Chains A and B, each alone.
Chain A
């Protein structure tokens, strides 16, 4: 805006224009502020991963790369991370298989008791985590089962299944039925159609469901806390050590997870865009 050349009455026009620009872009400004708000804690976590603070990462003491060079410098952090990765991986595989099977059954077959099954899929998502965690623990205690790795995985698979079903079902519903018809017209039998047409088309949905399961499992605290006994997961470690300040290595791991996940999502988008372009 070159309003400064208009010497006689620059101020009203300028403020007028500014306010018009402001009104037109109000929603963009608002969204930008919302994004800043969303990223404040992420930026903070990232910044404090470079803090030369030793064990208690509460106040800024100076810049160092040591935490990044030696992420296992606080050993408990790494063992907790290892547990979380292991639990996440096993739960994701199990939940994705079980959930995908249910999704296919629900979208491709007619059978009795469908609404009961839909309800059973919906309820775990509508139940607060405390209740899920407490009820599982009540049952494990009842059976004299000691909580640990196995009980955590059982719990994680349970709450991930519903999300897998919903995600994969939506993908199946969005398929173009003509593709399968075409395969059948070309003398593919049901199994071949499924193997070469349906499954590859549903695959992005399954991959998305697996990613969702992994992040739900990796980030879960409440249900895990009820059913973990003495096993420490990454979120549990952060919770327990929050009061005295968590080691900067935890920030390193949190920030790395952020960048890895961001990379996977962006790469996935680029790949699917290229496929579409072809």
Chain B
């Protein structure tokens, strides 16, 4: 996902033809990193897969599980947590759409209307994220909290009842998700908008397209790679997040991440946690593949 880089991937420089002869060098360069990724990404995922079909023998201590290839675990885990699964995808989906609605005009403004301010504004987009993610979420809990400024203001208005609450609501969780992943949406959008040659927009104007038509028929299609990258980079972390649901939500807004976390630590039920993690990963990978196919962009990887 070359989301930070507007540079088109040029074809390999001609100079390398000499260097590209078969040698051991590339393998030596790849070796340490690949060992790390295989040892600490592939192997753990395999362990997770194997854990997911384990069961706890009768009378064994808490946290002791043996392999018994019980695939039923998946159905049990899914059925017990259907709501949380559904909620995760719903919240992440809404947050992604909201982030797109906020980011597209913002990225458009920076790409086409900002002039010399461009790089300064880009820094401003990323800057809030230099403050810790947790601290910003905690700040939202206090801003939206019962004694916070927003609730006090709403209470002063005639059309809200006095027991209005914003925290511990789905609204707060979705706002938190939208806020926290915003730069992941804005940066790829900016990268693909910035790459658009302004002459194509002029050409559309010359061909009697009005502003709206130009936007709809030229700008939007050309920015599709950014839209796809941005929505994925927002949706994937949002669907697996549990910090927002924990800090800004209530027990009825628990997402699948909260369940996996508590299965691991509070309940010490590793197989269920593993089965849920695997289901989440599979669901996301399938969605991502379908989405990339459908939108016809291969530039992401």
Residues of A within 8 A of B (CB): 27-28, 30-31, 34-35, 37-42, 44-45, 48, 58-59, 98-99, 101-102, 104-105, 107-111, 117-132, 134-139, 141-142, 154-155, 157-158, 161, 165-167, 169-171, 173-175, 177, 180-181, 184, 190, 215, 218-219, 221-222, 225-226, 234-235, 238-239, 242, 246, 250-251, 254-255, 257-258, 260-262, 265-266, 269
Contact = CB atoms under 8 A, between A and B. Distances in A.
A135 B48 contact: yes
B194 to A, nearest CB: 14
Interface in B17-74: 18-20, 22-23, 25-27, 29-30, 32-34, 36-38, 40-45, 47-48, 51
A215 to B, nearest CB: 7
Contacts of A27: 105, 108-109, 113
Contact of B135 (A39, A45, A125, A128): A45
23 contacts: A27-B109, A39-B128, A59-B147, A99-B33, A108-B19, A117-B30, A120-B41, A126-B284, A127-B281, A128-B257, A131-B48, A131-B281, A135-B274, A155-B40, A165-B33, A170-B7, A239-B243, A239-B246, A242-B138, A254-B132, A258-B128, A261-B127, A265-B127
B78 interface: no
A130 B261 contact: yes
Given A128-B240, A242-B247, A184 B105 contact: no
Interface residues on B, range: 35 or more
A198 to B, nearest CB: 10
Contacts, number: 279
B266 to A, nearest CB: 13
Given A130-B260, A139-B40, A181-B14, 13 more contacts: A27-B105, A30-B106, A108-B20, A124-B37, A127-B284, A128-B237, A131-B277, A131-B280, A157-B40, A226-B261, A254-B131, A258-B127, A262-B123
Contacts of B47: 135, 138-139, 142
B33 A101 contact: yes
A109 B20 contact: yes
Interface in B186-239: 232, 236-237, 239
A123 B1 contact: no
A171 B9 CA distance: 9
Contacts of B12: 107-108
Interface string B112-138: 010000010101111111111111111
